[in-house]
Structure 1
């Protein structure tokens, strides 16, 4: 299969870029959120790396990118703490698209996408604290497949814990907290087919499974050779899940049998994010840190079919646009760059 990438736009993000997320809601699929963070500088211009508490500044940029877009320019810029992860809910809540953001101050924020005077803006709706002196590292929604007006969210953090919340009564209700990894819990993700189940991956190389009704992990897998950094359940293919790791491998799993993966594939870079194609169940987009970006094809095993190496720093953020144009957003860290590319498959 011939696969080519065509870079349409490049945009300098100012702060270090680590997250890009297209809105999946049909009327708002032209909307893209880019999250960034940067260590606060001393007066002398050096990072405050010798301080016990490094303050991380962050910005969220909101873009509207459609067929008549000629250049990139954000329609909104929000100041916040450092953004570590963002995820859109796959359906509206109370008729609003909602973006979940987790920050370097251990906070989860929910923003509503609202139209005011003909312009789209994110407005803070709900926020809560995960804990003090920690970074909230990842977030996932339970409702990507099974729609509900009171979805759950799972957040992982730098203390090695995962916390599950439910939206209710205009607030986040904590329904469980698991202190589970020896080091950072880099990632947490739901089973979208059974939202009582969720998973986490940590810097201790462990991949764990949970049931929200049980106060400890129900299974632990030790097959990753380095920290587990990405987990993504498939919305269209039941029981299918992928994980990524600092060991530069993508592993394909059947969630009914998590003792051993179906296959593992070397992608020549530590894997930070994995995204299933929104309309074609065969393909995965991978952000591979120092290895750039990859498109993977899933058949009986996972194979690399294309790579994108035009970023000059750590490949952290990647997402497919939720339409038939095959647009991809990617972002990289120290060079503070976001690219919008078209994939020809």
Structure 2
């Protein structure tokens, strides 16, 4: 199948960009956030890198058929942003963005309309001292509930489970999961008592909060750090992982002893995003290998398109939930965000 990847806009983010996320909640699917961070070179630095000051920004964009030039409608100055995820449904009548920060915190922002559409800080929860919160995921990407859960990974090798309540965030438990950084944590969207983690120790783990305090399954087949995990919203038991070893792997979540199939993407796999309407299509951010679109089936994973217009580490990537499909991508040291139209 021929894939057309047409760049529409490019924007300089000012400081290093590492995450882009489209809002999935109607009627705000034209809302995009871009997260950034960099070391504060003006502040006195500790020899311990974990205590170094990191500055960040969240840029809020509204992109629709009337957009001619990119510019943020809001800029938030916060700690360094390591990851962002929108909840797939409203919480207390508002879309909610969860942010993992360099201060070891999870911050929840409500998207509110007060004349203009703006993000407002709702709650801030510290998950640990002198750590970076590295990734997070919502439990309710498939099935909404009144008190969704968040799983958060951090630089100390831990994974923390939180519940959103009427008053904010409640910490459920913390697991020491990996010997080095826990790069990624993600839910099984079909069974939200189950979640996964991947670490710099090359280990991929599965947890079930109903039956054990620790991991119920541990896999050591990755050849480098595990950096991406994504459950499939439309296909039960399908799970993708990515690694610094440059491979994307497809798993059956019922049996994690070995993957179903794998392929080399030509770059460390930092993010994997299933297309919201094409169940066999995946967007991959491949660090030094640029961005790829994959066709995934139980027999094989094929690269069907690539985008190499960024000039630095490919970190952030996401599909819009509108059609035609727009893709946001961002890269680190060159401080660039691109918006492209994908014709599948």
Q: Measure, in 2, the Cα distance between the counterparts of 1:257 and 1:211.
A: 14
Q: 1:51 to 1:187 in 2, by over 3 A?
A: closer
* 1:103 alignment partner in structure 2: 101
* 1:179 alignment partner in structure 2: 176
* 2:84 alignment partner in structure 1: 86
2:237 alignment partner, one of 230, 236, 239: 239
Q: Measure, in 2, the Cα distance between the counterparts of 1:202 and 1:51.
A: 20
Q: Where do residues 142-161 of structure 1 align in structure 2 (5 Å cutoff)?
A: 142-161=139-158
Q: Measure, in 2, the Cα distance between the counterparts of 1:42 and 1:298.
A: 46
Q: Where do residues 265-280 of structure 1 align in structure 2 (5 Å cutoff)?
A: 265-280=263-278
Query: Does 1:230 pair with 2:228?
Result: yes
* Unaligned 5+ runs, structure 2: none
Q: 1:51 to 1:166 in 2, by over 3 A?
A: closer
* 1:340 alignment partner in structure 2: 339
* 1:204 alignment partner in structure 2: 201
Q: Measure, in 1, the Cα distance between the counterparts of 2:47 and 2:168.
A: 37
Q: Measure, in 1, the Cα distance between the counterparts of 2:138 and 2:342.
A: 27
Q: Measure, in 1, the Cα distance between the counterparts of 2:58 and 2:252.
A: 35
Q: 1:309 to 1:48 in 2, by over 3 A?
A: farther
SS state of the match for residue 218, structure 1?
A: strand
Query: Does 1:328 pair with 2:316?
Result: no
1:332 is displaced (CA, Å) by: 0.1
SS state of the match for residue 78, structure 2?
A: strand
1:4 is displaced (CA, Å) by: 2.2
* 1:12 alignment partner in structure 2: 12
1:50 is displaced (CA, Å) by: 4.8
1:79 is displaced (CA, Å) by: 0.5
Q: Measure, in 2, the Cα distance between the counterparts of 1:133 and 1:266.
A: 35
| 1:86-137 alpha-carbon deviations (Å, 9 max, x no partner) | 00000001110000001000000000000011x1100001110010000000
Q: 1:160 to 1:120 in 2, by over 3 A?
A: same
Q: Measure, in 1, the Cα distance between the counterparts of 2:205 and 2:129.
A: 24
Q: Measure, in 2, the Cα distance between the counterparts of 1:81 and 1:212.
A: 31
SS state of the match for residue 26, structure 1?
A: coil
* 1:56 alignment partner in structure 2: 54
Question: Do the aligned partners of 1:176 and 1:212 also contact (CA within 8 Å) in 2?
Answer: no
Q: Measure, in 1, the Cα distance between the counterparts of 2:155 and 2:121.
A: 24
What is the RMSD of the two structures over their aligned residues, measured on CA atoms?
Answer: 1.2
Q: Measure, in 1, the Cα distance between the counterparts of 2:269 and 2:204.
A: 14
SS state of the match for residue 27, structure 2?
A: helix
SS state of the match for residue 18, structure 1?
A: strand
SS state of the match for residue 150, structure 2?
A: strand
Q: Measure, in 1, the Cα distance between the counterparts of 2:339 and 2:56.
A: 21
1:42 is displaced (CA, Å) by: 3.0
Q: Measure, in 1, the Cα distance between the counterparts of 2:329 and 2:203.
A: 27
Question: Do the aligned partners of 1:29 and 1:322 also contact (CA within 8 Å) in 2?
Answer: yes
Q: Measure, in 1, the Cα distance between the counterparts of 2:31 and 2:229.
A: 24
1:54 is displaced (CA, Å) by: 1.1
Count of residue pairs brought into register by the alignment: 341
Q: Measure, in 2, the Cα distance between the counterparts of 1:145 and 1:96.
A: 18
1:51 is displaced (CA, Å) by: 5.8
* 2:293 alignment partner in structure 1: 295
Q: Measure, in 1, the Cα distance between the counterparts of 2:168 and 2:66.
A: 38
* 2:247 alignment partner in structure 1: 249
Question: Do the aligned partners of 2:324 and 2:343 also contact (CA within 8 Å) in 1?
Answer: no
Q: Measure, in 2, the Cα distance between the counterparts of 1:211 and 1:13.
A: 39
Q: 1:172 to 1:311 in 2, by over 3 A?
A: same
Shifted more, 163-172 versus 184-193: the winner is 163-172
* 1:192 alignment partner in structure 2: 189
